Chain A
């Protein structure tokens, strides 16, 4: 039994799955493709079960807060109640039912964007208090931000030269900078992938 607990086993599983998926991409061997399709399907199913891990953690944390009467314990109780209500409604009435749709459209789809919209106000505050052209770098950042922002709305087209300069910035220096980031992260990610498949990176299973 203790042999099954050895880390060499799951490191080997990672390597086999990863190398098989890479192998069938470069070589047209039907058997490899069939097995790759099979394990990719298994991975999708396992990913579905993995979703529950986060939900179980969330539920346990908030139930503990509720029972121990920690700070905001009543809100934790409300959270668990709402979660269970949505689960019961969704699994009994289906997500397409009018009740579920009402909750989705009038509560969930409202609070989410509203939370993100708070950042719009913070950006206004940051524009006045924090955006400073202290150095050449900061000045370039500011000019680039302002031009790319203005060109997203009709007002940008009304100011002479703004569209042509903004689109040039977007298509030339911005593309160059972003391309360097893409190349750099690709090299890093490929290296990390190889290390993971060779068993050098084991953080995911500790």
Chain B
């Protein structure tokens, strides 16, 4: 019996093969799947955003008389004034609020989270031997970014050590990124194998 689940399984398998056809060459099959994806992604984003705005702004505004919520709604609508040359300046106000709040939040948190705490962790390690190595290599890596001073002599040696440290870190990132991509390949292959098994009745 043909159920939505079975149709869905075949649709998913066909779409997987259409995307993988790109490995042979770019074709209308790949582009069709790609455009379908973008269409769904943008539609889904719109739906989820509208639902969130409905629940957090419209419902409290109407049912709980929270009239102050009109202000952010007006500011949000002002963003769309950018599409008309005469009213373009109106869109800068809500953008200014967004940028101001975002910048303030990021800056205030960064001082502790990514600066003070990281420096403290470097100079007060739990393991003395490895901690000392980390501290030295961190200093060398930071020295590598001093481009205003000529990198030669002792300073040159330190920056070379920093450069080699960065290469090890980049290699670690590459190796783990390769793992991520391979995991997704395995996931798709598992799915295709399961579809094949179902078709063969196994």
With a cutoff of 8 Å between Cβ atoms, the chain B residues found around residue A171 in the complex are 130
1/0 per residue B16-60: CB within 8 Å of A?
100110110000000111111111111111111111110011000
A67 within 8 A of B: no
From A42, A105, A113, A183, B142 is in contact (CB under 8 Å) with A183
With a cutoff of 8 Å between Cβ atoms, the chain B residues found around residue A107 in the complex are 11-12, 15, 36-37, 40
Q: Which residues of A contact B (CB under 8 A)?
A: 4-5, 7, 9-11, 13-22, 25-26, 38-56, 58-59, 72, 75-76, 78-87, 90-91, 95, 98, 102-108, 110-123, 136-138, 140-149, 152-153, 168-187, 189-190, 193-194, 196-197, 204-205
With a cutoff of 8 Å between Cβ atoms, the chain A residues found around residue B118 in the complex are 179, 182-183, 186
Nearest B-chain residue to A51, judged by Cβ: B49
With a cutoff of 8 Å between Cβ atoms, the chain B residues found around residue A197 in the complex are 100, 103-104, 107
With a cutoff of 8 Å between Cβ atoms, the chain B residues found around residue A90 in the complex are 43-44, 46-48, 51
Nearest A-chain residue to B116, judged by Cβ: A186
Nearest B-chain residue to A87, judged by Cβ: B43
With a cutoff of 8 Å between Cβ atoms, the chain A residues found around residue B179 in the complex are 149, 152-153
Question: With A43-B98, A116-B184 as given contacts, are A177 and B165 in contact (CB-CB < 8 Å)?
Answer: yes
- Report yes or no: A169 in contact with B172, Cβ–Cβ below 8 A: yes
Question: With A50-B98, A147-B175, A171-B130 as given contacts, are A193 and B106 in contact (CB-CB < 8 Å)?
Answer: yes
Q: Say what secondary structure dominates the interface of chain A.
A: helix
With a cutoff of 8 Å between Cβ atoms, the chain B residues found around residue A25 in the complex are 108-109
B196 within 8 A of A: no
Q: Say what secondary structure dominates the interface of chain B.
A: helix
- Report yes or no: B79 in contact with A53, Cβ–Cβ below 8 A: yes
Interface size class of B (residues with CB under 8 A): 35 or more
Nearest B-chain residue to A153, judged by Cβ: B179
A169-B176 Cα distance, complex, nearest whole Å: 13
Interface residues of B in 48-89 (CB under 8 A from A): 48-53, 56-57, 68-69, 71-73, 75-77, 79-80, 82-83, 89
Q: Which of B31, B57, B100, B134 has the most CB of A within 10 A?
A: B100
Q: Which of A5, A118, A189, A194 has the most CB of B within 10 A?
A: A118
Shortest A3–chain B CB gap in Å is 11
A179-B136 Cα distance, complex, nearest whole Å: 12
With a cutoff of 8 Å between Cβ atoms, the chain B residues found around residue A83 in the complex are 39-40, 42-43, 46
B155 within 8 A of A: no
Shortest B181–chain A CB gap in Å is 4
From A42, A118, A138, B97 is in contact (CB under 8 Å) with A42
- Report yes or no: A145 in contact with B178, Cβ–Cβ below 8 A: yes
- Report yes or no: B97 in contact with A110, Cβ–Cβ below 8 A: no
Question: With A17-B97, A46-B75, A149-B176 as given contacts, are A86 and B43 in contact (CB-CB < 8 Å)?
Answer: yes
